[in-house]
Amino acid sequence: MEKITKFFLSFTSVGSILSIATLNAFQLTVVGQPTPNVDGQPITQPGRVRFVGPSEDNLSSANSRRVFGIPAGLTCDARGNRKLTALVPKSKIGRTVSQYPVFFFYLPKLDFDEAQAEFSLVDENENFIHETTLKIKNSPGVMSVSIPANKNVPPLEAGKNYLWYIVLRCDREDRSSDAVATGIVRRVELSADILRELDAADPRQKTVIYAENGIWQEALSTLAAARRANPNDAELTADWESLLDSVKLGEIAKEPIVQIEQQP
């Protein structure tokens, strides 16, 4: 992955990207407020899962363009109007409570049968925490990448920001035609009250708790896992559509969740 790594980093500085998202001094890494309740239970009506993004995570429009704009030419010819998309809030910052979170992206239908994608996770010092190659068949949908919890991959540190990106290889010979989707992940810690709520919650309730406390990665991964285990559950489907719609990803909400193969 050396060639694409150098190409991407020549486009923008990882350090400058992550410095924009740095926590202010007064912002604590411990977050969470008690979730609204009805009859002592978290609100879990189908289709009512809404993500509440922390106000301090909003990037200015100018910085968003500078950080997340993709240079001309970095697109694949896809069938339809959708493009390679990182599933992240509007701020592009997804909070997590996990040392090894799961990342999600949407792959549109392409004009070729098989494709290869590359995932990278980079820290504030531009060190590569994890890289993997993804084997993708031409099955459009929402896909995920897991960070392996082993001694070769350092855990995410609380209060720090990390850049992650997916690179889709559109042409094996010409890397300038690659498509890129990016996001920032920030690890935080939950308050004792929220941890107690989570311990007593089922998967649907956990999704609500995470979403209403601005924990994007776990809200998404918890709900995605529940949908994989119960693909015909209409309530989970409604929750999924509501969650994605709350971050302006509603057009992707009806797309299938597709499993892909990760390589070391």
Q: Among residues 46, 107, 82, which one has the least CA distance to residue 240?
A: 46
Q: Residue 106 burial by CB count (10 A; 0-12/13-18/19+): exposed, middle or buried?
A: buried
What does the pLDDT read at residue 78? 53
What does the pLDDT read at residue 55? 75
184-221 as b/e, with b when 16 or more CB fall inside 10 Å? Answer: bbbbbebeeebeebbeebebbbbbbbbbbbbbbbbbbb
Task: Kindly tell me if the per-residue pLDDT of 163 is higher than 70.
Answer: yes
Task: Kindly tell me if the per-residue pLDDT of 219 is higher than 80.
Answer: yes
Beta sheet of 85-86, edge-to-edge order: 85-86, 102-107, 141-146
Model confidence at 228, pLDDT cuts 50, 70, 90, reads: very high
Report the alpha-carbon distance of residue 124 to residue 157 in Å, rounded: 11
Q: Residue 5 burial by CB count (10 A; 0-12/13-18/19+): exposed, middle or buried?
A: middle
Model confidence at 46, pLDDT cuts 50, 70, 90, reads: low
Model confidence at 43, pLDDT cuts 50, 70, 90, reads: low
The tens digit of pLDDT for each residue in 9-30 reads 444 555 555 655 554 433 445 6
What does the pLDDT read at residue 19? 55
Task: Kindly tell me if the per-residue pLDDT of 70 is higher than 50.
Answer: no
What does the pLDDT read at residue 61? 39
The tens digit of pLDDT for each residue in 78-119 reads 555 578 899 999 899 999 999 999 999 998 887 666 677 899
Model confidence at 193, pLDDT cuts 50, 70, 90, reads: very high
Report the alpha-carbon distance of residue 240 to residue 147 in Å, rounded: 23
What does the pLDDT read at residue 74? 42
The tens digit of pLDDT for each residue in 47-63 reads 678 999 887 776 543 34
What does the pLDDT read at residue 71? 38
**pLDDT > 70 fraction of the chain, expressed in percent and rounded:** 68
* Amino acid sitting at position 216: W
First to last CA, the chain: 12
